[in-house]
């Protein structure tokens, strides 16, 4: 499939009549759409599935969800997966990215008991997709950790590396004969920072400055372990690809004097997870290590709150992704001045970084308070990935924009047109982008925003 698109150059900008520029993607480029299990499946306790952290949080602390809603039913995809595939066929996509529910497959959280009903659901979905020549791209973990494992410490417990590896090995065995693209973990920054260091996402621990960094180390080791399991034990027969999907927004200096602040914002916000995997040296980004160590010492800690990797661990993680999976939505200007001192709670991730984030008034597209259309930021991000990491193959695994437009969706059309154009600009300069998946296939449960998100 190839895709062409048109975008309008407005009269107010160019003083000419609206015109249409047609651009074509290269042969072999794939288009798709993405979802996640908790957001669409529903059937939260059906057919042997057990509780995950989102089930637990929405049932016990509904006040953390904007409208008090849950994903108990969501889009009911557990029962309506054939309609989901029908919609994908109507869209004409090449790929469909979805995630597996850990507790639907392993109700005890461990491989001692495999839930056949859950396996059957995913087998049916995968087979339905393949019947219509839609390639499944399967995310092993998309935020819905088993509640039992969270009670054992979750991603802050180093044993999570083994627990996750056992789960990954199980799903490679069950589905790998048909799945050729695996995503180990979706958006590690959100998993650690917004779930452990804040209360925006389950389990909403809101313990700042320590567990989010423990989570980061364990998550990267878990990802790399799954990668090596697949590479050594499954790739020779299954011939698939395996990678991580990082959320990366672009952070631009507000003034020339803010160049260091912007560079460090990019290091903290997304290179924390990409640098250990894709850089030549591995390990956490240097500026991040330096700043957290210095702040930890000032605060009276005996060691840095950012745990260190051993040299063996650095080598184990480095290179452990066949593709750079990228979720991107928006950009910020950042700056740093003396007034940031004491602005954020200490210790915390935000205090360690110590920058201010700015959205410009002219970025007025859409109704979201923070998600604005900044296509040039997407271009700069793709350029940075190409130049810093040796031009890895990139799959855009999420990109999208919230509106209340309904069927009158010109704002979203403008967003997609501008972002696809920016992506093509980067590709024409050499960025090896081969796939693009829009978020999302359908309206769904939007985490702590419930069904009210815009």
Active site (annotated) includes residue 237: no
CA distances in angstroms from 159 to 61, 154, 275, listed in the order given: 27, 9, 23
Share of the chain above pLDDT 70, in %: 95
Strands (E), 10-162: 23-24, 30-34, 95-99, 135-141
Would you say residue 5 has pLDDT above 60?
A: no
Point out the catalytic residue in the list 41, 128, 264, 398: 398
Distance CA 328, CA 337 (A): 27
If 0-12 CB within 10 Å is exposed, 13-18 middle and 19+ buried, where does residue 281 land? exposed
Residue 454 is predicted with a pLDDT of: 59
Among the listed ranges 66-75, 225-234, 359-368, 428-437, which one has the minimum average pLDDT value? 359-368
Residue 397 is predicted with a pLDDT of: 99
3 state SS of 249: coil
CA distances in angstroms from 389 to 185, 218, 327, 382, 428, listed in the order given: 20, 23, 17, 11, 18
DSSP bridge pairs for 393: none
Point out the catalytic residue in the list 41, 187, 212, 418: 187
Tens-place pLDDT, residues 40-51: 999 999 999 999
Would you say residue 352 has pLDDT above 70?
A: yes
Task: Answer whether the bond into residue 203 is a cis peptide, omega within 30°.
Answer: yes
Active site (annotated) includes residue 387: no
Alpha helices by DSSP H, listed for 369-440, are: 375-388, 410-428
Question: pLDDT band at residue 404, thresholds of 50, 70 and 90?
Answer: confident
Q: Where are the domains of the chain?
A: 114-127+147-447
Residue 249 is predicted with a pLDDT of: 98
Tens-place pLDDT, residues 156-194: 999 999 999 999 999 999 999 999 999 999 999 999 999
Distance CA 147, CA 156 (A): 14
Tens-place pLDDT, residues 61-107: 999 999 999 999 999 999 999 999 999 999 999 999 999 999 999 99
302-328 mean pLDDT: 99
410-433 mean pLDDT: 96
Closest CA to 189 of 278, 263, 267, 295: 267
Would you say residue 12 has pLDDT above 90?
A: no
Our measurement of the distance from residue 7's CA atom to the centroid of its chain's CA atoms, rounded to an integer in Å, reads: 27
Residue 9 is predicted with a pLDDT of: 32
Q: What is the pTM of this model?
A: 0.96
CA distances in angstroms from 104 to 85, 129, 446, 451, listed in the order given: 20, 20, 20, 23
In the predicted model, what is the mean pLDDT of the chain? 95
Question: pLDDT band at residue 19, thresholds of 50, 70 and 90?
Answer: low
Question: pLDDT band at residue 333, thresholds of 50, 70 and 90?
Answer: very high
Would you say residue 232 has pLDDT above 80?
A: yes
350-374 mean pLDDT: 89
Share of the chain above pLDDT 90, in %: 89
Query: What CATH number labels 114-127+147-447?
Result: 3.20.20.80
By DSSP bridging, strand 135-141 and strand 95-99 are: parallel
In the sheet where 250-253 sits, what is the strand order? 250-253, 331-335, 356-358
Distance CA 55, CA 65 (A): 12
Residue 274 CB contacts under 8 Å (≥ 6 apart), including other chains: 246, 248, 324, 385, 389
């Amino acid at each position: 499939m190839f895709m062409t698109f048109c975008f309008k150059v407005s009269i107010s900008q160019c003083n000419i009549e609206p015109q249409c520029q047609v651009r074509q993607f290269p042969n072999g480029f794939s288009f798709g759409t993405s979802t996640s299990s908790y957001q669409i499946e529903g059937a939260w306790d059906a057919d042997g599935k057990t509780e995950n952290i989102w089930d637990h949080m929405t049932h016990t602390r509904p006040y953390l969800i904007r409208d008090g809603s849950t994903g108990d039913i969501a889009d009911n995809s557990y029962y309506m997966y054939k309609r989901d595939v029908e919609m994908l066929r109507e869209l004409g996509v090449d790929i469909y990215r979805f995630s597996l529910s850990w507790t639907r497959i392993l109700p005890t959280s461990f491989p001692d008991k495999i839930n056949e009903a859950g396996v059957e659901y995913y087998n049916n979905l995968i087979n339905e997709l393949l019947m219509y020549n839609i390639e499944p791209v399967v995310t092993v973990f998309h935020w819905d950790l088993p509640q039992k494992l969270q009670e054992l410490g979750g991603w802050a417990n180093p044993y999570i590396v083994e627990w996750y590896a056992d789960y990954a090995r199980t799903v490679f065995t069950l589905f790998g004969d048909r799945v050729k693209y695996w995503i180990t973990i979706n958006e590690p920054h959100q998993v650690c920072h917004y779930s452990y260091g804040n209360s925006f996402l389950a389990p909403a621990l809101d313990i700042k400055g320590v567990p989010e960094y423990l989570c980061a180390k364990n998550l990267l080791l878990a990802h790399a372990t799954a990668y090596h399991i697949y590479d050594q034990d499954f790739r020779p027969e299954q011939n698939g690809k395996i990678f991580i999907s990082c959320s990366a927004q672009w952070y631009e200096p507000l003034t020339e004097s803010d160049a260091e602040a912007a560079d460090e914002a990019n290091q903290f916000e997304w290179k924390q997870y990409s640098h250990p995997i894709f850089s030549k040296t591995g390990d956490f980004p240097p500026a991040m290590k330096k700043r957290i160590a210095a702040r930890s010492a000032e605060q009276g800690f005996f060691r840095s709150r950012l745990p260190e990797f051993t040299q063996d661990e650095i080598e184990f993680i480095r290179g452990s992704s066949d593709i750079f999976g990228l979720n991107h939505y928006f950009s910020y200007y950042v700056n740093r001045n003396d007034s940031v001192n004491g602005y954020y709670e200490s210790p915390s991730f935000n205090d360690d970084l110590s920058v201010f984030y700015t959205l410009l008034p002219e970025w007025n597209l859409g109704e979201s308070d923070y998600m604005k259309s900044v296509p040039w930021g997407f271009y700069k991000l793709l350029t940075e990935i190409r130049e810093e990491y040796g031009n890895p193959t990139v799959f855009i695994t999420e990109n999208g924009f919230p509106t209340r437009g309904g069927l009158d969706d010109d704002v979203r059309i403008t967003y997609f047109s501008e972002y696809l154009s920016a992506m093509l600009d980067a590709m024409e300069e050499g960025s090896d982008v081969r796939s693009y998946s829009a978020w999302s296939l359908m309206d769904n449960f939007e985490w702590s925003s419930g069904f009210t998100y815009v």
